[in-house]
Amino acid sequence: MLDEKLDALSRMTTEHMAMPFPPGFRGLDIEDQDMVMLDADAYGCAASALEGPLAERQRAALTRLLTAFDRVLPAIDDAYASRYYTHLHKAAVLAAEVDGLRER
């Protein structure tokens, strides 16, 4: 099960890197969340989860990011940006699942 989730996470991070950043979202804050930082931090957590178990600091950051996505996603009114950040949110959720499946 871990291997399948790792494969899926790898595909999702590759897909994410191929997606252009949403126009107009640089420097934009939604629900007090900088959208560039949300992107960078969520991708960073996902990429780290591919490499091995997350450190406690990374795990706490991922939990905060998932909470931020819960606030931000409903407030995005751009169709492409909504797809972009929903895809990234799914990758972050999968990263948390991968980390939870790893033996510590």
Task: Please give the average pLDDT of every successive group of 10 residues along the chain, which has 104 residues.
Answer: 96 97 96 97 97 95 97 98 98 97 76
Check residue 60 and give its pLDDT. Answer: 96
Check residue 89 and give its pLDDT. Answer: 98
Query: Residue 50 belongs to what domain range?
Result: 2-101
Query: CA distances (Å), 74 to each of 24, 25, 36, 43, in order?
Result: 17, 15, 17, 20
Rounded Cα distance, 35 and 28, in Å = 6
Rounded Cα distance, 99 and 101, in Å = 5
Check residue 104 and give its pLDDT. Answer: 55
Check residue 33 and give its pLDDT. Answer: 97
What is the count of structural domains for the chain?
1
Place of tokens 């990011």: 65
